[in-house]
Structure 1
Amino acid sequence: MRHPPRSVLLAVTGAVALVGAALVPVVSASGATPACTVQYAVTSEWDTGFQSSVTITNNMAAMSSWSLSFDFAGGQEVTQGWNAKWSQSGTTVTAANESWNGSLATGAGVSAGFLGSWSGSNAVPTEFRLNGTTCNVDAQPTPTPTPTPTGPPATGSAPALHVSGTKLVDAGGTAHRLLGVNRSGGEFMCVQGYGIWDGPVDDTAIKAIADWKANAVRIPLNEECWLGLSNVKPEYAGANYIDAVKELVTRVESYGLTPILDLHWSYGQYTGNSSGCSDVHATCQKPMPDAQYAPSFWSSVAGAFKDDQAAVFDLFNEPYPDRATSTTAQAWQCWRDGGTCPGIGYEVAGTQDLVDSIRGAGARNVIMIGGLAYSNDLSQWLTYKPTDPAGNLVAAYHGYNFNTCADASCWNSTLAPVAAQVPLVAGEIGENTCSHAFVDQAMKWFDDRGLSYLGWTWNTWDCSSGPSLISDYSGTPTAYGAGLRDHLQAINP
């Protein structure tokens, strides 16, 4: 998909004045540790509105869910929030945990924020209650901490893969289809300053994916976060980001799932046709990867995973140079060769450049490459296919119910010829109907030809705008996600 719906975009008309954080101090008369502490900060304020954050620390027994309440004294009203389910009744505001951040161990903390409106005064709340206990005051005796479970241990291992003719095969030569889900978050949370992953990625969370009988997880990444560029918060960038990705890859593989590392968001300013944003930074889907940072990204990723043949590389999420250039030939040439492409204001790294970066780092891993029109058009993929000394290239297709190529007629005419010469993986399939009629049709077409596919996305978003496969991270499917789950469980009993 071009952009995840969880992105929090704060657009405010009028002059905005950033103010010093108005913090509620933690007060304890006797010096004992409070049962819970809450820091409340007004991070910005303007004529009729403001933005605030709350940071909660739990010093009581571990909680499986939490609810924070406080009262406004100046007639303020919450208008929008994130990282919690915000509600207001009269002057009382309540923030309840999301499905993915409900566990709060002893000593653990969680942060959330909101936008509000005000008139007259914007007084800071003075009392906060966590699950009914008043915070920032003396504690009752501290209970023995309860360990937070991480889920049962993994027992599997992901297979090393390579291309053999039109199939992906394991080390023993057995054909291996990639059937799984996308796990969005790594492409946007870091660059937006909220974290690295959107929701949990611990053992329990990954086991829930494996329980659907999936065998692959596609992990979208952000090149600026991986490279640690200055516009990303240090705690979410560079070595911290890389270590988090490595840890997730190890955990995914331990459950027998193939990790697919995807360059999703990249650098370069594009404001032309179908632009996702005007920002030069990696805050949206760009038409092509940039020559300034994308080769360095892939050289670094390849160096990190060159000894792990179970990891698959997805070169660039959804190219769309066809929206910028005037002819199809120009678009495909830009796709392969990069350089100065008509309609794109930054120097482009072509698919050949990025394949060369990966192989130059000594990695022979399988590489997936999507076509034009957000990876929906593979009509000239074979004609412009980059060269690969390792012979490990795979064609990648993305298909949604609202795409141009979204039925058997188009698949027969454009995908089947590609699949007759190289392995074909549908890196994303999905629909925005909160149903699964389209993905049912797509899965059957790919099943009949022994091809691979992954559903978008294993995140708890609105299935009509995401689309989202799940309603919680224990794996409860949405009406849309039930189609993929039931099908995977039926073909992999």
Structure 2
Amino acid sequence: MRSPTPRTAAVAALTGALCLAGSLVTAGDALGTPAAHAAVGCQVDYSTNDWGTGFTAAITITNRGSAMDGWTLTYSYAGNQRLTNGWNGRWSQSGSTITVVNENWNGSLATGAEVNVGAQFTYSGANAAPAGFAVNGTACDGDEPTDPPTTPPPGGTAPELKVSGNTLVDADGDAVRLRGVNRSGGEFACVQGNGIWDGPMDAASVAAIRSWNANAVRVPLNSDCWLGLDNVEPAYRGTAYQNAVKDYVALLEENGITPILELHWSHGLWTGHDSHCETADAECLKPMPDAEYAPEFWRQMADAFKNDTAVVFDLFNEPYPNNLEVMDYDRSWQCWRDGGPACTGLTYEAAGMQDLLDAVRGTGAANVVMVGGNSYSNDLSRWLAMKPSDPTGNLAASWHSYNFNYCSDASCWDEQIAPVAAQVPLVAGEFGEDTCSHGYVDTLMAWLDAHGASYLGWTWNTWDCAAGPSLISSYDGTPTPYGAGLRDHLLSAP
């Protein structure tokens, strides 16, 4: 779908603190401190990924008292740590004191609920653990939690995956079908200067996804942000972006959810037919991945996750060389696979699917790799004949299906898609409909179930349905009428 324009480092410090007291905070603070809270009971857990001159701080606030309708966290550093950027809250620093105020979408915490926030800092010298944690003005230092530990998240660890024939299987050889959602945001927020994600990516939001009986989440990403190119604001690129992706992958896996990492927006200037933006920067969907940056993106991504085969890679969102009116149909499939000179008429050098797969396998990564077809990944008619060569055999076909695509009925599915599903694992990496209803997806899911395929609905974001298929109206998992179709189907699945 064309998105809207809208743990490798060691843990350096870990502390848990509990506060149980009453607190009333008056309104009117410049940072929007909430008013009239009930009795506060909180646990704060803090950890870092430290690389010597800077670090990413990960903080979990757990509500151990009455329900909160807003929160403000404060704490202090003893050294020269300086805040550079933060997410999932409004971060600020005054001297050594850090303040984090809830966003409008994560201020309500029921008893036992938690919220994850994070930030990036620079420093020199020692990086001692901070102190003075307080929530809504009440100190949380000193005492160990008196409540029992929280129950482990449902689902357990995500399975290691590989391909066996036309099926995905786990380490025991048992068949696995991936059925879940897309979580858009990582492809556009960073390059638009609006953060790294769109909405919460914390434990509560993942639990809401899991409550639909989803076992997979596809995460669209941006090559400029991952690689740290200069067109992206420093706070949202390079190490900060990479750590945010790694943290979210870990959170999904802890909940038994398979992460699917996908290159959605990439580099390359195309202003011809069916252009989506007039810049070479990764600010929109491009017809093909670029040779300049996309292979390096996949080399780095694969190197980061090559020891974790629970992670699946999706090479490129929606190639569409057949739609450019500069090459014939045969040539468009050659362009799709081989890139470079095969992409006649394209105004930047493209990387083909073989180039990207070679970049992944060159690191030694044996992770399952999904490869989308032509014409916005809706056309798989020549996928089997033109598929890239994979020495590991861990290759799956990615297909996108919407009610407004040309291949949108059972006769086309039987003719074009079923032969692919008979030979390799088929994953409908995106599907949906633009009516905010679920008649089309109900029919499609039944067909995919009959062919043993996997599928992921677009998208777990709270956009109005008028802006595109949106599964939810709230990050607590409240479905739109369209999303209700996927939710009910997943909940009824074995």
TM range (shorter): 0.7 to 0.9
Task: Report the counterpart of residue 385 of structure 1 in structure 2.
Answer: 387
Equivalence map 1:379-418=2 (5 Å):
379-418=381-420
Task: Report the counterpart of residue 64 of structure 1 in structure 2.
Answer: 69
Equivalence map 1:204-243=2 (5 Å):
204-243=204-243
Structure 2 vs 1, CA of residues 192 and 100 (structure 1 numbering), >3 Å: closer, same or farther? farther
Distance apart, 1:343 and its partner CA = 2.7
Distance apart, 1:346 and its partner CA = 0.6
Counterpart residue identity of residue 331, structure 2? Q
Counterpart residue identity of residue 344, structure 2? P
Task: Report the counterpart of residue 335 of structure 1 in structure 2.
Answer: 336
- State the alpha-carbon separation in 2 of the partners of residues 227 and 60 from structure 1: 44
Structure 2 vs 1, CA of residues 353 and 389 (structure 1 numbering), >3 Å: closer, same or farther? same
- State the alpha-carbon separation in 1 of the partners of residues 103 and 354 from structure 2: 46
Report if the CA contact (8 A) 2:401-2:431 is conserved: yes
Task: Report the counterpart of residue 138 of structure 2 in structure 1.
Answer: 144
Report if the CA contact (8 A) 2:269-2:347 is conserved: yes
- State the alpha-carbon separation in 2 of the partners of residues 248 and 181 from structure 1: 15
- State the alpha-carbon separation in 1 of the partners of residues 472 and 367 from structure 2: 30
Counterpart residue identity of residue 168, structure 1? L
Q: Secondary structure at the match of 1:363?
A: coil
Task: Report the counterpart of residue 424 of structure 2 in structure 1.
Answer: 422
Distance apart, 1:2 and its partner CA = 1.1
Structure 2 vs 1, CA of residues 307 and 34 (structure 1 numbering), >3 Å: closer, same or farther? same
Counterpart residue identity of residue 365, structure 1? N
- State the alpha-carbon separation in 2 of the partners of residues 402 and 196 from structure 1: 30
Distance apart, 1:37 and its partner CA = 3.7
Structure 2 vs 1, CA of residues 34 and 99 (structure 1 numbering), >3 Å: closer, same or farther? closer
Q: Secondary structure at the match of 1:272?
A: coil
Counterpart residue identity of residue 178, structure 1? L
- State the alpha-carbon separation in 1 of the partners of residues 160 and 463 from structure 2: 32
Equivalence map 1:89-128=2 (5 Å):
98-99=104-105
Counterpart residue identity of residue 334, structure 1? C
Which ranges of structure 1 fall in alignment gaps of 5 or more residues? 9-32, 39-54, 67-82, 84-95, 110-141
Task: Report the counterpart of residue 473 of structure 1 in structure 2.
Answer: 475
Task: Report the counterpart of residue 319 of structure 1 in structure 2.
Answer: 319
Report if the CA contact (8 A) 2:26-2:33 is conserved: no
Structure 2 vs 1, CA of residues 65 and 151 (structure 1 numbering), >3 Å: closer, same or farther? farther
Count residues with an aligned counterpart. 390
- State the alpha-carbon separation in 2 of the partners of residues 151 and 344 from structure 1: 54
Q: Secondary structure at the match of 2:411?
A: helix
Counterpart residue identity of residue 337, structure 1? D
Counterpart residue identity of residue 169, structure 2? V
- State the alpha-carbon separation in 1 of the partners of residues 29 and 293 from structure 2: 42
- State the alpha-carbon separation in 2 of the partners of residues 415 and 295 from structure 1: 28
Report if the CA contact (8 A) 1:60-1:143 is conserved: no
Report if the CA contact (8 A) 2:213-2:491 is conserved: yes
- State the alpha-carbon separation in 1 of the partners of residues 104 and 35 from structure 2: 20
Q: Deviations over 1:74-132 (max 9, x none)?
A: xxxxxxxxx9xxxxxxxxxxxx97545667x99x99xxxxxxxxxxxxxxxxxxxxxxx
Q: Secondary structure at the match of 1:184?
A: coil
Q: Does 1:350 align with 2:355?
A: no
Q: Does 1:373 align with 2:375?
A: yes
Q: Secondary structure at the match of 1:299?
A: helix
- State the alpha-carbon separation in 2 of the partners of residues 100 and 318 from structure 1: 32
Q: Deviations over 1:429-474 (max 9, x none)?
A: 1011110000001000000111110000000011232211001011
Structure 2 vs 1, CA of residues 65 and 407 (structure 1 numbering), >3 Å: closer, same or farther? farther
Equivalence map 1:446-457=2 (5 Å):
446-457=448-459
Counterpart residue identity of residue 183, structure 2? R
Q: Aligned-pair RMSD on alpha carbons? A: 2.9
TM-score by length of 1: 0.74
Q: Secondary structure at the match of 2:175?
A: coil
Structure 2 vs 1, CA of residues 97 and 356 (structure 1 numbering), >3 Å: closer, same or farther? closer
Report if the CA contact (8 A) 1:167-1:175 is conserved: yes
Structure 2 vs 1, CA of residues 370 and 101 (structure 1 numbering), >3 Å: closer, same or farther? farther
Counterpart residue identity of residue 399, structure 1? S
Distance apart, 1:383 and its partner CA = 1.0
- State the alpha-carbon separation in 2 of the partners of residues 428 and 410 from structure 1: 17
Equivalence map 1:140-289=2 (5 Å):
143-144=137-138, 153-155=152-154, 156-289=156-289
Q: Secondary structure at the match of 1:459?
A: coil
Equivalence map 1:7-22=2 (5 Å):
7-8=5-6
Task: Report the counterpart of residue 14 of structure 2 in structure 1.
Answer: none
- State the alpha-carbon separation in 2 of the partners of residues 34 and 465 from structure 1: 38
Report if the CA contact (8 A) 1:272-1:343 is conserved: no
Structure 2 vs 1, CA of residues 152 and 468 (structure 1 numbering), >3 Å: closer, same or farther? farther
Structure 2 vs 1, CA of residues 483 and 290 (structure 1 numbering), >3 Å: closer, same or farther? same
- State the alpha-carbon separation in 2 of the partners of residues 347 and 98 from structure 1: 43
Q: Secondary structure at the match of 1:352?
A: helix
- State the alpha-carbon separation in 2 of the partners of residues 294 and 97 from structure 1: 34
Task: Report the counterpart of residue 121 of structure 1 in structure 2.
Answer: none
Counterpart residue identity of residue 264, structure 1? H
Q: Whose Rg is larger? A: 1
Q: Does 1:304 align with 2:283?
A: no
Distance apart, 1:427 and its partner CA = 0.3
- State the alpha-carbon separation in 1 of the partners of residues 230 and 151 from structure 2: 38
Report if the CA contact (8 A) 2:34-2:70 is conserved: no
- State the alpha-carbon separation in 1 of the partners of residues 106 and 2 from structure 2: 23
Which ranges of structure 2 fall in alignment gaps of 5 or more residues? 7-24, 41-67, 72-87, 89-101, 119-135, 142-146
Distance apart, 1:244 and its partner CA = 0.4
Question: Which of 423, 433, 436 matches 1:434?
Answer: 436
Distance apart, 1:145 and its partner CA = 5.8
Q: Deviations over 1:177-222 (max 9, x none)?
A: 0100000000000000011111111111101111100100000000
- State the alpha-carbon separation in 1 of the partners of residues 370 and 408 from structure 2: 20
Report if the CA contact (8 A) 1:460-1:473 is conserved: yes
- State the alpha-carbon separation in 2 of the partners of residues 100 and 431 from structure 1: 29
Q: Deviations over 1:243-272 (max 9, x none)?
A: 000000000011111000000000011111
Counterpart residue identity of residue 64, structure 1? D
